[in-house]
Amino acid sequence: MFVILSVVAAVNVGCGGGGGGGGGGAAMGMLPVASTSVPATAAAPAQDSGASSSTASPVDCSVTLYGDSILYGGTNITGAGPGRLQEPPAVGLVRIRPLVTVSDRTEPGDYATRRLPFFMNDRITSRFVVIEHGLNDAGNGFDYETPLRTMVQRVKALQKTAIVTGLSHVREGVDQRDAYDAIASRVAKEEGVAFANWGSVPFTRDSTDFADDVHPAQPYSTRLTEQLARTIDGLAPECR
Question: pTM (2 decimals)?
Answer: 0.81
- Average per-residue pLDDT for the chain: 83
* Homologous superfamily of domain range 59-239: SGNH hydrolase (3.40.50.1110)
Note the pLDDT of residue 80: 53
| Spatial separation of the C-alpha atoms in residues 223 and 202, rounded to whole Å | 8
Note the pLDDT of residue 25: 38
What pLDDT digit, counting tens, does each position of 9-55 carry? 333 333 333 333 333 333 333 333 665 544 544 333 344 444 333 45
Instruction: Average the pLDDT over each of 47-56, 183-192, 225-234 and give the range with the smallest value.
Output: 47-56
Centre a 10 Å sphere on the Cβ of residue 143 and count the other Cβ atoms it contains: 12
Q: Around 27, how many Cα atoms within 13 Å sit in the side-chain half-sphere?
A: 2
Find out whether 97 and 239 touch, Cβ atoms under 8 Å: yes
What pLDDT digit, counting tens, does each position of 161-186 carry? 999 999 999 999 999 999 999 999 99
